Structure 1
Amino acid sequence: MFAIKRKTKGEAIFDIINNFGMLCICFLTLYPIWYVLVNAFNNGNDAMLGGIYWWPRMFTLENFKAVFASPGIMQAMWITVAKTAIGTVAHVLFTAMVAYAYSRKGLIGGKFYILLGTITMIFSGGLIPGFLLIRNLHMLDNFLVYIIPFMFSFFDLIIFMTFFREIPEGLEEAARIDGANDWSIFLRVVLPVSMPVIATIALFHGVFQWNDYFTGMIYINNENLQPIQTYLFRVVAQSSSNQMMVAVQGSAINRTVTSQSIKLATMVVTTLPIVFVYPFLQRYFVKGMMIGSIKG
């Protein structure tokens, strides 16, 4: 039988203070989200009176009906879903492919390439040269501006490369004996055993693609190509949300909906999808974050 070690008085006090501090941090982190959610489900005119902190005082779904009644926001949502899905897949595959080449010991000039990549992590060309480059590549008002410029990240390459170097060489040697070439080894051997790092990078880049509003604001003038975050940014930046209120003018909804309530409902609509994805990737994400920290 193992003896149970009793905590000293100092350790017990430390645990109490530590737990209390963590609860405070959790509350400060989660309450703003809860506040937005509560007010999004409350009557807009009633919410203007204030005093709503924990539960909706006049529960309603009219705010969300107004959000989905706007054709502009639904188009923006589809653009966001498409760019997140396509952009994440393209980023993971392309970055993993380059990282696999970097991880090979026989790569000629490998150290030089790593040096060049490290420099790009420290210095960038800037916004104006980037805009001129995108314009010269004819990607202004083009859906590809969400995909091609973000297909590669040297920071993600380092994570991939570290993982690939820990894969036993015997797997590749066995595949080569069976007649597999480099493409077959990468697609059929390396990628299937790399799910932890793939899920980690996919989560990182997927969240970036979903939350990115700056690309649409700088490079897109066509409203049909705006992502939801750019659409929301422009609505919130205006003192009155005319873009969204036009969709419900003259309807019964308009009597219980305000511009502020629509903003809050839009925030909920744009945030919840990416939040729901995280639990499905969490088990891979936790393992992926340990890449390179433990050998063997």
Structure 2
Amino acid sequence: MAKQRNGSKIKRSPGDQAVQVLIYFIVGLSAVVTVLPFLYVLAGSFATERELTERAFFIIPTEFSLNAYKYIIRTGDVFKGLKNSVIVTVIGTAINMFFTTTLAYPLSRSYLRGRNFFINMVIITMLFSGGMVPSYLVVSSLGLTNSFWALWLPGAISAFNMIIIKNYFQGIPKELEEAARVDGSSDLGIFLKIILPLSKPTIASVSLFYAVGHWNSYFSAMLYISDKSKEVVQIALRRIIFLAGGINTDGTPIDWGMMGQPPEKAVKMATTVVATVPILLIYPFVQKYFTQGVMVGAVKG
């Protein structure tokens, strides 16, 4: 037998122990490979330009420097970009979840007439899209350019995320819904008081997907937003990187004069940290829901 009970403990066979050691080694190696690049970027953002040039890899800089962050702060665009990104992320995620859950709930009910037709229409959007030019023409014709609505409405519903939530809704026992109807509850009441509270794991996980997408929104923001006061942090950091490299966003070189050029490599790493850390702070609050919500929503239904 692979396992034998010895009192209250389970004695593993040498083969099981070897497999367990191998699993821990692979998981540990994967964790190290994943974390080390970020640690290098974090350390490089506090290093001098000379050290970044001379040393190929390090975790702790020999000379601590805040020049890169001072340069980013001095430009002033990063704070305005952070504020706009927070607005886009919070409101955009709320809009996404409102439309996604309100579409997923009726599609999860088997008694909905034409249910399969609507589901197939949703699936088609995962396979085909109009493309960049038609999408821009639609957004422009609706007068949404230079507004955050251009970042919110075109992607208000993700078909993939909606299907995950729909499958989770289908897994909720129908007896709960029937009992609520007997008590006189309406469809809206069932949705708000029963379905949503029981779906916290999936809702938290999908909300994280949407939030990360909004925070990392770069191409759409560059395409639809030309007003500098409404630029998100990704666009602001892009401009900072260009300026640190001695190039304007229009491609013309910069004459730094007596001030000297800022630390280009350190600035790139500092901008990566600034763009990554805020969204990473959300993970601890949804970590307990993450695996459960995604896995259950993906396999049920």
Structure-2-length-normalised TM-score: 0.85
| Cα offset, 1:294, TM superposition | 6.9
Deviation at 1:93, TM superposition (A): 1.4
Q: Matched residues in 2 for 1:266 and 1:24: separation? A: 27
| Structure 1: unaligned runs, 5 residues or longer | none
* Equivalent position SS for 1:5: strand
Q: Is the 8 A contact 1:44 1:63 kept in 2?
A: no
**Which stretch of structure 1 is more off in the superposition, 208-217 or 285-294?**
285-294
Preserved CA contact (<8 Å) 1:118 1:154: yes
Once residues 241 and 268 of structure 1 are traced to their aligned partners in structure 2, the CA distance between those partners, rounded to angstroms, is: 21
CA deviations over 1:96-146 (Å, ceiling 9, x no partner): 001111112221211111111111111111111111111111111111111
Given the superposition, is the C-alpha separation of residues 189 and 6 from structure 1 closer, same or farther in structure 2, using an over 3 Å criterion? closer
Pairs within 5 Å for 1:151-166: 151-166=156-171
Tell me the alpha carbon deviations over residues 25-76 of structure 1, each in whole angstroms, 9 at most, x when there is no partner.
Answer: 3222211111110011123454344355121111133322322232212111
Percent of aligned pairs with the same amino acid: 34
**2: CA distance between counterparts of 1:87 and 1:165?**
26
- SS of corresponding position for 1:118: helix
For 1:125-274, list aligned pairs within 5 A: 125-236=130-241, 240=245, 257-274=262-279
Q: d(CA) in 1 for partners of 2:248 and 2:50? A: 19
The structural deviation recorded for 1:186 is 1.8
Q: How does 1:71-86 map to 2 (within 5 A)?
A: 71-86=76-91
1:12 CA displacement? 4.4
Letter in 1 for 2:72: V
Query: Which letter does structure 2 place at the counterpart of 1:192?
Result: P
Residue identity matched to 2:12: R
- Which residue of the other structure, out of 3, 6, 25, is the alignment partner of 2:12? 6
* Count, aligned residues: 289
1:22–1:155 CA distance, 2 compared to 1 (3 A): same
- Alpha-carbon distance in structure 2 between the residues aligned to 1:180 and 1:21: 51
Distance in 2, Cα, partners of 1:278 & 1:225: 26
Identify the residue that residue 25 of structure 1 maps to in structure 2: 30
* RMSD between aligned residues: 2.8
Kept after mapping to 2: 8 A contact 1:40/1:265: yes
TM-fit CA distance, 1:217: 1.5
The TM-score, its normalising length taken from structure 1, stands at 0.87
